[in-house]
Amino acid sequence: MDTYLQFVILGLGLGAVYVALGNGLVLVYRATGIINFAQGAMAMWGAYVFAQLRLDGSLVLPVGRIQLGAGPTSVAVSLVVALLTAVALGLLAHYLVFRPVRHAPALAQVVVSVALMLSLQALVVIRFGPNNISVESIIEPGSIDLFGVTVSSRELKMVGVMLVLSVLVWAYFRFTRAGVATRAAAENERGATLRGFSPDRLAALALVMANVVGTVGVILASSLTGLNPSNYTLLVVPALAVLLVARMESIGTVFVASLALGAFQSVINLLVLKPWWPTWAQSGIEQVVPFLVVVVILFAFGSRLPSRGSLQTIPLPDVHIPRLRPVAGTVVLAVTVVLLVVTRDAYRFGLTYSIILTLVALSYVVITGYLGQISLAQTAFAGAAGFTLSKVTTDWDMPFLLAVLLCSVVAALLGMIVALPAFRIRGAQLAIVTIAASLAIERFVFNNYSLTPPSGNPIADPHLFGMNLAVREGATLSRLSFSLMVLVVVTLVIVAFVRLASGDTGRAFLAVRANERAAASVGIDVRQTKLIGFGVSAFIAGLAGCLIGYSAGQLSAESFSVFVGLQILAVTYLGGITSWGGAAVAGVIGPLGIIYVLFHDLFEMGDYYALVSGLALILTAILNPVGIAGATRSQIDWVRRRIGGGRSPAARESAGAAADDAPIDLREVSDVH
C-alpha cells in the first residue's frame, strides 16, 4: 500500500502539468473557440528559456541571443524573464496565428495550431538542440510523512502552486468583468462587445494567461523529467483528454481530472511490473488510458458536449471532381519513370519516398478533404499495416501481394474502430480523439519492446513472379525495380481514388461533409459512410505503411510517429487537401521526400525543414485554404479563360460532364495501365 501511495504522489507531478496545460486549453477555447494543440509546445519554449538562463545566463531568442550575465542567472530573474517570454509568445501567437483564423472553419483552426506546434518544436531543436537537458529544481526536493508513509514533498508543492493558479483562473472567469465577458463571448461575440470588451483583446489576454500558466507548469515539471523537444509538446494530448472530460469549460474538473489522470498513469506504471501483468502490455499502457477515458466520456456524454466552432456546416475548400486524363496521366507517369531511371541512391530513394508519401497524403484527402472528418491517426494506420507486414512476411512467409493486401485490410479495420467516436463528434474534438488514439498506438505497439524489439521488426524483401523487388541489393541503396513497383501501386490507387471520388461514393462523402442531417434525409447512412471513409482512408494509409516498411527492410517506429503524421497532414494541407494533385504535391515536399533530401544534401539545412514546413503551413491555412494544387488550378483556369474564352471555368466541372465523360476516360485509362 505504501508504494502505491508513493506512486500516486509521484503521479501528481505529472498531473500538475496537465492542470497547467488544461487551464490554458480552457482559457483559449472559451475565448476563441479554438483548441490549441500548440499549448504544450508554447509552454515548453519558456521552460527552455528558463533552463538556459539557469545554465549559462544567456537569453535565447528565436534569432540571436542576449547574455544577461557572466554566469547562470538567479532563479528569480530567470523566472521573470521566462514568464515575460511567455507573455510575448502568447501575444505573438494571438496576433500572428490565431486571430487571422478566428472565423475560419474548424479544420483550418486545427491545422493552424498543429502548425504552430510543429514550428515551435522545430525551433526548439534548432535553438536549444535535440537532446534532453536536465533542469535544476526550483522547489527543494524533500519528503514528508503522509498517513505514516514517507512521500516526496516536491510533487505536493507543485500541486499547491497549480491549485493557486487554477483558483486564479477560475476567479478570473467568475468574478472579473473581462472573464465574465469571455464567457459571454463563448456564446456569441456580440455578448462581449455589449459588455464593452473587444473579443479580440479578450482572446489576446486569454492566450497570454494560458501561456503563463502553462509555462509555470512546464518549468516546475521539467526539473523532474528534463526537457526535450518532443515530450512536452506531446503532453498536450493527455491535457486535451482532460479538456474533453471538463466539457471544454470547467476549471474545477480540469484540476481534479488532471491529478487523477497523472496519479493513475503513475500507478499503472507500478502495476505493469507485477508478475501477473502480461509482458506484452507493459509499455505504453499509460497512453492508452487517456484515449480510453476520452472514448468512454464521449460515449457517455458525447451528444451533450458543447460544440462551438464545430457544428456549423464547415465551409471546407471546394472540391473539384477529378477526372482521369489519359494523355496528361501518361505524360506525368513517363516523366516520373525517367526521373527514377536517371537518379540514383539518395535522390532516387527520395523520389520513391515522395511517391509513397503521396499515398499517405491521399488518405488525408479521402478522410478530411472528401468526408470532412479530421483524423490525426493516419500514420498509426500505416504503422499498423507495416507492423503486421513484418509479422506475416517473416513468421509466415506470406507472399508479397497477398501480404500487402492483408496488412492494408488490417489497417482498414483499425481505421473503422477509430471511426466509432466520429459517430458522436466532429471537428476539432474528433481531432483530439484521433491524436490520442495515434499516440496510444505509437506507445503501445511501435515503442513496445515485447512487440517491437529494439533491433526493429524485419520485413522480408518483396518478390513477384520471380522478380526481385527489394529496395537494396549489395551496394545499391535504391533499386529501380522497387521504385517502379511503388509507382505502379500508387498509380493504381490514384486511379481507384479518382473513380471513387467521381462516383456515387465520392458524392455521398461530400454530402456528409457538407451537411450530415441533410445527408441522412436523402437516404445516406451517415455512420456507414463514415465507416467506409475511415476504412478506405486507412486502407490507403496501410498500403503506404507496407511500402514504407519494404523501403526500410524493417519496421521502424520513427516512420510512423505522431509527429510524422502531423507533418504529413501539414504538407497535405499545404498541397491541397481536396485533390489527389494536392496529395502529389504533399509527397514531393513531405518528410524524407525529394525536397527534404535536397534540403539536407544541397543546403545542409535539414533542421530547418520542419520549421519551414510548419511556417509555410501557418501561412497556407491563413491565406489560401485550397493549397498549392488549388491555387495552381485557378491559375490554369485563368490562363484557359484568356486563351480559350469558350468554356466557363467554374470552380468545378459541371456534374453532367463529370457523370457523362468521366467513365469514358476511365475506360481508356484502364486500358493504358
Partner 1 sequence: MSTDAPMGAHGGLRAERLTVRYGGVTANADVDLDVRPGEIVGLIGPNGAGKTTFVDAVTGFTRSEGSVTLDGERIDALRPHERRRRGLSRTWQSGELFGNLTVRENVAVATRPGGVGTLFRDIFWPRRRSDGSVDRALSLVGLGDEADRLARDLSLGQQKLVGVARALVGTCKLLLLDEPAAGLDSAESLEFATRLRTIVREQGAGALLIDHDMSLVLGVCDRVFVLEFGKLIFSGTPDEARTDQAVVAAYLGVPMENADA
- Sites of contact with partner 1 (CB under 8 A): 313, 315, 318-319, 496, 499-500, 502-511, 514-515, 517-526, 528-529, 532, 536, 650-652, 654-656, 659-660, 662-664, 666
Residue placing its CB nearer to partner 1 in the complex, 607 or 637 = 637
Long-range contacts at 652-656 (CB < 8 A, ≥ 24 apart): 652/318, 652/319, 652/320, 652/321, 653/320, 653/321, 653/323, 655/321
Residue placing its CB nearer to partner 1 in the complex, 474 or 523 = 523
For residue 458, what are the β-bridge partners? 554
Residue placing its CB nearer to partner 1 in the complex, 238 or 582 = 582
- C-beta of residue 40 within 8 angstroms of C-beta of residue 239: yes
- C-beta of residue 641 within 8 angstroms of C-beta of residue 149: no
Residue written as cell 479544420?
107
**Quick one: which H or E segment has residue 59?**
strand 58-60
Residue placing its CB nearer to partner 1 in the complex, 451 or 514 = 514
User: Could you give the CA distance from residue 424 to residue 45 in angstroms, rounded to a whole number?
Assistant: 35
Helix count and strand count (H, E) for the chain: 27, 8
Residue placing its CB nearer to partner 1 in the complex, 188 or 654 = 654
Residue written as cell 489519359?
326
User: Could you give the CA distance from residue 557 to residue 297 in angstroms, rounded to a whole number?
Assistant: 29
Q: Work out how close the CB of 671 gets to partner 1 at its nearest, in angstroms, rounded to a whole number.
A: 14
Chain center to CA of 3: 36
**3-state SS, one letter per residue, for 492-551:** HHHHHHHHHHHCHHHHHHHHHHHCHHHHHHCCCCHHHHHHHHHHHHHHHHHHHHHHHHHH
Residue placing its CB nearer to partner 1 in the complex, 292 or 518 = 518
Q: Could you give phi then psi for residue 435, rounded to 5 degrees?
A: -70, -35
Contacts for 48 with CB less than 8 Å, ≥ 6 apart: 60, 124, 127, 128, 227
Nearest to 48 by CA among 118, 123, 115: 123
Residue placing its CB nearer to partner 1 in the complex, 488 or 496 = 496
- C-beta of residue 19 within 8 angstroms of C-beta of residue 210: no
User: Could you give the CA distance from residue 265 to residue 619 in angstroms, rounded to a whole number?
Assistant: 38
Q: Give the SS3 label for residue 471.
A: coil
Where in 135-260 does DSSP place strands (E)? 143-146, 149-152
User: Could you give the CA distance from residue 482 to residue 240 in angstroms, rounded to a whole number?
Assistant: 41
User: Could you give the CA distance from residue 42 to residue 94 in angstroms, rounded to a whole number?
Assistant: 12
What torsion, rounded to 10 degrees, do the Cα atoms 466, 472, 476, 481 define? 40
- Listing DSSP states for 249-299 in one string gives T-HHHHHHHHHHHHHHHHHHHHHTTSTTS-GGGSSSHHHHHHHHHHHHHHH
Long-range contacts at 228-231 (CB < 8 A, ≥ 24 apart): 228/130, 228/131, 228/132, 228/133, 229/44, 229/121, 229/124, 229/125, 229/128, 229/130, 230/121, 230/563
Question: Helix crossing, 378-394 with 526-552: angle to 10°?
Answer: 50
